[in-house]
Amino acid sequence: PFCFPSLGMRLGGFPRGQLQGSSSEGAGTVRRGHTFQQAHWFLFPVYSLLEILVDFVCVEHTSFDVAYLTEVDPLWNDDSLAFIIQPEALLFANQIAQMACTADSVTSQVGLPLNALFWCIGSWGSSYPLSGALDNEDVTAASAGIGARMIYKLGRQGLLWDTATDLCQKVPSFIWVKYHWKFQIARPVRGRQCIPLGRSAMIWGIAKNPPKSGSDNFLFMVFRKRACCAF
């Protein structure tokens, strides 16, 4: 907890306890992996910071900021509490709904994910619950999935608005539009692909988490689509 790979630092003096991230692999006849991680949301407006497009009306003029820490969010650390902001999760906690995610997984490998299947994150897992626990034993893919959940969660809480649905203004995004977002892995090993949500880590994540200092601490650059009408 409180590890910031983007800043190259960790805040000390905090007891780890149940906030510590973990990954486990199922045993027995039925194998079911599980990963739990904390996540941090940073504001990183590259064009504004580099002053490349200072007079362009469609560029957000904000500063670098730590916008959200899940360590202090009880809803992120407890699946039962997460039910408060996503009661519809009960509708998708069944095999039929999860089998439908196969279609989303296929389309995300060759193109963009299916927005109609908003409860799926392609091959990364399920969008629900909106917590840090994901049923995926591949830590690289699970980290991307948890990052995607963070986007959905912030939108559900009204903290992250969609910038590509309306030309004139941002709009609330309580049900996310998945193809408005793309990821690029930056740490532990930088990737060269900008991937849609749900694309298999076998395509972009090979050798991106080597067994060295800093492994299992991931940093993703998040890109979102922005529609703008400038006069």
Q: Identify the burial level of 138 via C-beta atoms within 10 angstroms of its C-beta, where 0-12 means exposed, 13-18 middle and 19 or more buried.
A: buried
Look at the chain and count its residues.
Answer: 231
Residue scoring higher pLDDT (60 or 19): 60
121 domain-assigned = yes
CA distance linking residue 154 with residue 66, whole number of Å: 14
76 domain-assigned = yes
Mean pLDDT of the chain: 86
- pLDDT, average across residues 147-168: 92
Kindly provide the b/e burial profile for residues 67-84, where b requires at least 16 CB atoms within 10 angstroms of the residue's own CB: ebbbbebebbbbbeebbe
Q: Is 60 exceeded by the pLDDT of residue 17? A: no
- The torsion angles phi and psi of 36, rounded to 5 degrees, stand at -130, 130
16 domain-assigned = no
Where on the phi/psi map is residue 122: left (φ > 0), alpha (ψ -120 to 50), or beta?
left
pLDDT of amino acid 23: 57
117 domain-assigned = yes
Tell me the pairing of strands 133-134 and 219-224: unpaired
Q: pTM for this one?
A: 0.87
pLDDT of amino acid 29: 46
pLDDT of amino acid 31: 52
Residue scoring higher pLDDT (5 or 97): 97
For the stretch 110-148, pLDDT in tens is 999 999 999 999 999 999 999 999 998 899 999 999 999
Coil, helix or strand at residue 69: strand
Instruction: Name every residue whose Cβ is closer than 8 Å to that of residue 53 and which is 6 or more positions away in sequence.
Output: 47, 59
Lowest average pLDDT, out of 24-28, 44-48, 49-53, 123-127, goes to 24-28
Could you give the residue ranges of the DSSP H alpha helices within the chain? 46-50, 79-82, 89-92, 95-99, 101-110, 139-156, 201-204
172 domain-assigned = yes
Provide the 10 A C-beta neighbour count for residue 144: 29
1 domain-assigned = no
Provide the 10 A C-beta neighbour count for residue 174: 11
Which residue from 60, 50, 55 is spatially nearest to 163, judged by alpha carbons? Answer: 60
Q: Is 90 exceeded by the pLDDT of residue 196? A: yes
149 domain-assigned = yes
Query: What is the span of the domain harbouring residue 67?
Result: 33-224
**For a pLDDT cut of 90, what percent of the chain falls above it?**
58
Q: Is 70 exceeded by the pLDDT of residue 16? A: no
How many domains, in total, are found in the chain?
A: 1
Which residue from 12, 57, 65, 91 is spatially nearest to 167, judged by alpha carbons? Answer: 57
pLDDT of amino acid 132: 93
101 domain-assigned = yes
